[in-house]
Structure 1
């Protein structure tokens, strides 16, 4: 049995990007949208491309999409419910969006078809980008974001940043909560029954643990924050700012927060108040109400406006984003996938990885394995072959760059 790597042309990688959407469903990471910088111009990536990363094999594939395509955008909010990727909001060449689309990721014929939701009941949020979303009880629950409102739409949930008086259009930050029930196709704005909400903000991050929706940091007016808030998604009561003793992460925006256990959240990256891209990682335990910084993360891989998704074995998969301050040096968009192991892998995973790493030594014994486990072994062989191939290509590029400099 041949256990060597597949042809090198199969080892493609999703294009570099920032401000994109990413979700995990089953054994795949799905990536859509975002933008890159070409000759100091912001270029939105094709709206008909869906990139798939198979977690077991480590291979990327690109699929063309059909149907009612969203416009090419950045800053949209993506979330997955029951195998459907929902995209809301975002910013394109024409301004801010408050349109909602979905695509079935579990298609049987391999065709991914966008559907724009137009037959909804209720009132959607005003147009905006850089908002966040909690998924709870088949509902998409959105918070905050930066966008525009008419003079008649101004309220206490909006901090004005700039105004255009012709037509009386205002731009600024939100702290309102809107929910979309995917079963009844209904928008509604829940009545907040108590507590103090966070200040209006954008480029923050959120995560769900149980029936609690957590929010951390983000851009508030002319500053960035490191505050933590919690909304009970059953009673609609805010916790107010959660007071934490001990060390805590610094102020930031464009970061990610990922639930990694029933009582733990993983914070990574972002842009600090002094405009420094961050590469630090933190674990917050909601039971003990404390932060702990991880000390073994690479300090040379800062990321901001990236995505973070939880994998099948508790690993956090960071894709894309920028390694530069997007306000001043918008050139450092990334295409690599950073995988952070936040808990021990299962014994099966460890065995599969061992075989995959040593496939050339074990090639005569691999065919002896049980037929039930053989497909998983072959995917791990592919995974490590692809990983080695990318490392070799990276080393070649770095070597050529050094030659060009000298």
Structure 2
């Protein structure tokens, strides 16, 4: 299957492991003068998917410390971030900001009941029934909290300190923003092996986990958690799956399919392949595209209209290298055929510059349609300018 992909060189700060939600990006990790630094959490960049333009906004309130590896999600007009790693290690704090009121005020959330998960980063999140459901990650646990018979935590033996271990977990924790509570549901079935830097997506009442780092290896296995019965099941693909990887993304693009892109392979190779997985047929389909020279890992992805997937930021090199591998371009994947209106709109936007007849007729369009079309014209003019 072949898809269209557009690459835009965008004017914004380079960011690594960026937050993404409803078209908004903020904070992260980058290289400056051969040094790795955490970007501040007091700014947010908003990308207009129609016009192809960026805006930056200053943020106030209880601003989170500069971090990377946080888990972000977008629910009811609010961006939530949980966990992450800064100069002092992993955290288990949760923050939110309203992205629609134009004020961009951070608020640190103190739960009314329940205990937050242990500090961690490189985890994933599902959204279901107005709740945030977190899975896995890598982080610190006190020795007193580690049960030798538990399968929920694998210690990274090289990380031991006097009273704690760092390691991988497969725990499920639920945060309810309405009740402001944490709880840890009891799950059934065989859970995935503890992991981090995996990818997750929600389809209906089910949360999916794909790949990630499991101890010293990277996988491409798929597991599903029923978010009503809390029952785990592993999915055995009926076609050849992608190679094992971590630091990739998995994005729901329909009621039955998810799009996987990029990541870091078992032999530490940055990946640029894209795949669709159909949960009904249990088959992987690789999508051919012309930008195999744009590998990405530790990037962000979100679904846009018409089943587009927008990939932003991350790195094109192995994450432990301090170099110029950080990326600030957005890549838009077309994962499904466009509706006729979108096809017509894009055709006009691409060709109006070269057609006097189209330029004469544009002012005759209804105001709302003309305004939308002008945004698309600006989008394609911008993409051509930055691809020169």
Q: Check whether TM > 0.5.
A: yes
| Whole-Å separation in 1 of the counterparts to 2:18 and 2:176 | 23
State which of 301, 312, 323 in structure 2 corresponds to 1:308: 301
SS at match of 1:271: strand
| Whole-Å separation in 1 of the counterparts to 2:291 and 2:378 | 25
Give the alignment of 1:299-378 within 5 angstroms.
Answer: 299-328=292-321, 330-360=323-353, 361=355, 362-378=358-374
SS at match of 1:133: strand
Are residues 1:246 and 2:243 paired? no
Q: Which runs of structure 1 show a deviation greater than 4 angstroms over 4 or more consecutive aligned residues?
A: none
What residue number does 1:89 align with?
A: 83
Give the alignment of 1:43-62 within 5 angstroms.
Answer: 43-62=37-56
1:295 shift after superposition: 2.2
| Whole-Å separation in 1 of the counterparts to 2:362 and 2:59 | 38
- Contact 2:10/2:386 (<8 A) preserved: no
| Whole-Å separation in 2 of the counterparts to 1:33 and 1:71 | 10
What residue number does 1:396 align with?
A: none
Structure 2 alignment gaps of length 5 or more: 1-8
Cα separation, partners in 2 of 1:52 and 1:313, compared to 1, 3 Å: same
| Whole-Å separation in 1 of the counterparts to 2:275 and 2:37 | 32
What residue number does 2:6 align with?
A: none
- Contact 2:10/2:330 (<8 A) preserved: no
Greater relative contact order (CA < 8 Å, ≥ 6 in sequence): 2
Count matched residues. 373
| Whole-Å separation in 2 of the counterparts to 1:51 and 1:14 | 8
Structure 1 alignment gaps of length 5 or more: 1-10, 393-406
1:165 shift after superposition: 3.3
| Whole-Å separation in 2 of the counterparts to 1:383 and 1:243 | 41
SS at match of 2:116: coil
Cα separation, partners in 2 of 1:165 and 1:322, compared to 1, 3 Å: closer
| Whole-Å separation in 1 of the counterparts to 2:359 and 2:87 | 53
What residue number does 2:3 align with?
A: none
Are residues 1:263 and 2:252 paired? no
Give the alignment of 1:122-137 within 5 angstroms.
Answer: 122-137=114-129
SS at match of 1:358: helix
What residue number does 1:22 align with?
A: 20
Cα separation, partners in 2 of 1:251 and 1:119, compared to 1, 3 Å: closer
What residue number does 1:379 align with?
A: 375
What residue number does 1:177 align with?
A: 172
Cα separation, partners in 2 of 1:163 and 1:300, compared to 1, 3 Å: closer
Give the alignment of 1:35-114 within 5 angstroms.
Answer: 35-107=29-101, 110-114=102-106
SS at match of 1:313: helix
What residue number does 1:151 align with?
A: 143
Cα separation, partners in 2 of 1:329 and 1:68, compared to 1, 3 Å: closer
SS at match of 1:377: helix
Are residues 1:165 and 2:169 paired? no
SS at match of 2:306: coil
| Whole-Å separation in 2 of the counterparts to 1:269 and 1:150 | 34
- Contact 2:278/2:284 (<8 A) preserved: yes
TM-score between both structures, scaled by the size of structure 2 = 0.93
* More off after superposition, 149-158 vs 207-216: 149-158
* More off after superposition, 55-64 vs 155-164: 155-164
What residue number does 1:401 align with?
A: none
* More off after superposition, 208-217 vs 349-358: 349-358
RMSD: 1.4
- Contact 1:58/1:383 (<8 A) preserved: yes
1:302 shift after superposition: 0.5
- Contact 1:86/1:103 (<8 A) preserved: yes
| Whole-Å separation in 2 of the counterparts to 1:212 and 1:12 | 35
Cα separation, partners in 2 of 1:330 and 1:206, compared to 1, 3 Å: farther
1:12 shift after superposition: 5.6
1:355 shift after superposition: 2.0
- Contact 1:281/1:297 (<8 A) preserved: no
TM-score between both structures, scaled by the size of structure 1 = 0.89
What whole-Å deviation, never above 9, does each CA across 1:160-207 have from its counterpart, x for those lacking one? 1034433x1211111100000111111000011x21001111000000
